[in-house]
Structure 1
Amino acid sequence: MIYILTLCIVTILILRRYFPVIGLKCMKWGEIDIKNITVMDVRDYNDSYKVPIQGAVNIPIAYLNRFYAEIPNRVLYIVASNSVEKNMGVRILRKKGFRIIGCSILSHEYKLLNNKRNTLSNC
């Protein structure tokens, strides 16, 4: 009985972290209207400092529960460095009552080249 309960708890924890969020659109950077939304950067401070996104609100995943009140109460677009950050960030922000219209994962090429091309990839 304890093994089944432990297995259920572990399964739930893994699904929350790795399973894609239902109903979330993965959009390209050019498809969003930046004027009407808030771009939310949930990458680590080291990554967001090296490759900043102009006009984005930078709050890493580890600090979302503590600093979510600093996020403007508007529609959000999430930028993450990997799918785990994206899934966790969307779930935390939805739980806090934010509406998320889409997301992007910052591509590896953008990190390496650091150029101004549109290299935000789909989720």
Structure 2
Amino acid sequence: MIYFFTIILVALIISSYKRYVPVRNVPCLKDGCKDLNATILDIRDYNTTNNRSEDILNIPYAYLRRFNHEISDDNIHVIASDKLELNLGLRFLLKKGFKVISYEIANCPCKKGGFEFGVR
């Protein structure tokens, strides 16, 4: 019985780590990646995105596993709606071997001035 609880506890710790611990060595860019030569990947839901630019590749996190072959092998700048979606998306992309060089959280309080959180 104690082994069962130990396995459950380890599974919960690993799940929490993947969701809530920020990914290291991927910086947050407040103003987007205007100066970078990178593919912009928007992993927000289709309903929450308001950009219809052809320069931005929109693949929601829920569809990344199915459509990751459409992402180019260039440098990638990720746009996410919150930290949870960002952490899961970055871990998936890095696991698949993509070069994620930066990220941006839409409607982030750090864009409005003041403090910047989650930069590692």
TM-score of the superposition, structure 2-length normalised?
0.82
Identify if the C-alpha distance between structure 1 residues 19 and 53 changes in structure 2 by more than 3 Å, giving closer, same or farther.
Answer: farther
Runs of 4+ aligned structure 1 residues displaced above 4 Å come to none
Which runs of no fewer than 5 residues in structure 2 stay unpaired?
none
Q: Distance in 2 between matches of 1:33 and 1:27?
A: 11
Q: Which has the higher contact order (CA 8 A, sep 6+)?
A: 2
Percent identical across equivalent pairs?
A: 36
Residue in 2 that maps onto 1:89: 89
Q: Distance in 2 between matches of 1:26 and 1:59?
A: 20
Identify if the C-alpha distance between structure 1 residues 31 and 78 changes in structure 2 by more than 3 Å, giving closer, same or farther.
Answer: closer
Note the aligned Cα RMSD (angstroms). 2.2
Which runs of no fewer than 5 residues in structure 1 stay unpaired?
110-117
TM-score of the superposition, structure 1-length normalised?
0.80
Aligned residues: 111
Q: Distance in 2 between matches of 1:40 and 1:58?
A: 6
Q: Which of the two has greater helix per residue?
A: 1
Are the counterparts in 2 of residues 77 and 102 from structure 1 also a CA contact under 8 Å?
yes
